[in-house]
Amino acid sequence: MRLPVLLSAVAILGFCCSSHSSAAQAGAELHVPAQTAWGFDLTGVDRSVDPGDDFYSYANGTWNRETRIPGDQVAVGALADLRGYNANLRVRDLLEEEHAHTTSSGNSTQKAISLYRAFMDAQTVQKLGDAPLRAELQHLNQIKSKDELAASMGRSFGGFGSSLFNLDLSTDDKDSKHYAVHLGQGGLGLPSRDYYLQPQFARTKQAYEVYVVELLRLAGLPDAPGQAHAIVEFETRVAEASWTHAEERDPVNTYNPEDLVTLEKSIPDFPWRHFLAGAGLGNVARVIVTTKTSVPRLAQIFAATPLDTLKAWQAFSIIDKAASYLPDAYVQARFSFRLHTLGGQPTLAPRWARAVDFVDEAMGSAVGELFVQKHYPQENQQQMAVIVENLRTALRDRLEHLPWMSPSTKAEALHKLANLEVQIGRPKVWIDYTKLEVSPDDLYGDAQREKAFDWSLEQERLALLASVRDLLHGKQSAHLYSRHAAGSVLQRKGGSGHQLWGYWRCHRPRANS
């Protein structure tokens, strides 16, 4: 019984190392933890509590009492600080510094700076108003058929809007060398089907309908209350037909490959070819259906729903997705529902923090390259490589001497260990942003073009062999994970954020592996 307790102590006390960081977040200054002796920060421990009675309160009591969550955040802690506020400040400082020194135009750094400046230029955003949005809504209003509406759903993957069906271009679980188009349920504006169907979320659902009304009114669309009610009723029917989260996690039931001809014959209520063509996937002949029984039900709902309701739903979805890049009225409306009502965040984050989030999302690789150059020296990379190889050696020695493992199983395990690819802090190849067009005075257009560029990268995957050489998160963030779909090649990666002070110190004594 002692080992689990000791492991819990390590985990909890390690988490308490954030006790200093939370207080510094009231102002926009980078917090650097005090460089004390290496080890656990015990200032969060409440020694008035007997650890035998309540170990959690003993380990975290003081930290819980003294830590305050800033109004523009929903959580604080060691990882939250590392991934969020402090990382954002570092990225902001990088962009500001590069803006002062970069003279060349058109390179990735300059484009990232232009995106940041476009977001920060609130005056121009207010001056342009919602004219770009209204132009897009006017185009939607000209749709005359459900075939065209399905095509607009497909286009939403490279822009604003939504789709009744989700498309995911990722590794084929049973053919790990290739990517595949995964087709599943979508269409909900709330986090899950439970928000529409469970009594405890009734007030949230009502607040959602009020939010839909507000966005439709801001955009000048007619009969906002009536349209909003129809939209929420439509999404409720979609929720009733959708799988639960538990069902979506079943690896067997979520793998149902079908060729397009068979899909059209088995589910004739939806114009699949128009939808895929709108998504730029007109040449796709095979999809993997992930929610086998909900997809035909959603197709039936699509067929039975009036075109005007579908257009109103798509109009709301466009406004909702675009609101962050529009004047303050839209930003505040979206914050009030999405972040405050749903997320519990008391106040809107400052504009610079939202600008950094936007640039991170749009050009995370370019920002990450700058971040690595500044905060992740080659010395750190080399030391991490030594640690990983020491771990690999220890694992190899243990596998070779396991008495219970058969020779064939042992050989396979050693093969997997030898082929395990580790990426820490940086990818093998950075993303090329040459084709991405940005403008420092067109935030709405920049957001549209970024989404189109990102989707084009996804589309290019289908013509390539599956690769695990790309990091799934920005290098300026902190993540550890593995990808198992690549068969014998596993991947464990961490953003270089993990190598910042408090998680990595070059001259700290290293434990023997």
Q: Dump pLDDT digits (tens) for 150-205.
A: 999 999 999 999 999 999 999 999 998 899 999 999 999 999 999 999 999 999 99
pLDDT at 422: 77
The first and second tokens of residue 483, run together, are 């990808």
Q: 203-229 b/e with 16+ CB inside 10 Å = b?
A: ebbebbbebbbbbbebbebeebeebbe
Please say whether the beta carbons of 183 and 154 come within 8 A.
Answer: no
Q: Where are the beta strands (DSSP E) in 115-222?
A: 165-172, 175-185
Give the model's pLDDT for residue 84: 64
| Upper half-sphere CA count for residue 31 (Cβ side, 13 Å) | 20
Residue 469 has a pLDDT of 45
| Cα separation, 485 vs 488, whole angstroms | 9
pLDDT at 211: 98
Whole-number pLDDT of residue 104: 60
Using CB atoms within 10 Å of the CB of residue 467, give its burial: 0 to 12 exposed, 13 to 18 middle, 19+ buried.
middle
Report the 10 Å Cβ neighbour count for 352: 18
Domain boundaries, the chain: 2-68, 77-129+326-513, 146-319
- From 143-152, 254-263, 382-391, the region with the lowest mean pLDDT: 382-391
Confidence bin at 389 (pLDDT 50/70/90)? very high
pLDDT tens per residue, range 332-368: 999 999 999 999 999 999 999 999 999 999 999 999 8
The alpha carbon dihedral of 43, 48, 49, 51 has a sign of positive
Judge whether residue 258 has pLDDT over 90: yes
* Pick from 51-60, 131-140, 241-250, 499-508: least confident: 499-508
Reply yes or no on domain 146-319 having CATH 1.10.1380.10.
yes
Determine the Cα–Cα distance for residues 445 and 433; give it in Å rounded to an integer. Answer: 16
Nearest to 168 by CA among 193, 189, 186: 186
Question: Would you state the pLDDT for residue 476?
Answer: 53
- CA neighbours within 13 Å on the CB side: how many for 177? 0
Band (307; pLDDT cuts 50, 70, 90): very high
480-482 sheet: strands from edge to edge: 421-425, 491-495, 480-482
Mean pLDDT of the region 52-78: 91
- DSSP assignment, residue 319? H
pLDDT band for position 256 (cuts 50, 70, 90): very high
Q: What is the DSSP string of 17-51?
A: GGTTTGGGGGSS---------SS--GGG--TTS-T
Band (7; pLDDT cuts 50, 70, 90): very low
pLDDT of 402 higher than 60: yes
pLDDT number for residue 318: 98
In whole angstroms, how far apart are CA 370 and each of 29, 365, 388, 468?
A: 20, 9, 25, 22
pLDDT at 423: 76
**pLDDT at residue 374, as a whole number:** 84
Contacts of 75 (CB under 8 A, 6+ apart): 69
pTM, to two decimals = 0.84
User: Across the strands, what pairs with 259?
Assistant: 286
Predicted pLDDT of residue 492:
36
Segment among 17-26, 208-217, 450-459 with least mean pLDDT: 17-26
Rounded CA separation 63/19 (Å): 6
87-96, 251-260, 394-403: least confidently modelled range? 87-96
Alpha-carbon gap, residue 336 to 332, rounded angstroms = 6
Q: What is the mean pLDDT of residues 281-293?
A: 97
DSSP code for 280: T
Work out the average pLDDT over 119-139.
97
What share of the chain has pLDDT > 90, as a percent? 66
Segment 418-446, tens digit of pLDDT: 988 777 777 778 899 999 999 999 999 99
CA distance 183 to 189: 18
Q: Each residue of 457-503: pLDDT tens digit?
A: 999 988 887 654 444 444 455 555 455 544 333 333 334 444 444 44
Q: Is the sign of the CA dihedral 458, 464, 468, 469 positive or negative?
A: negative
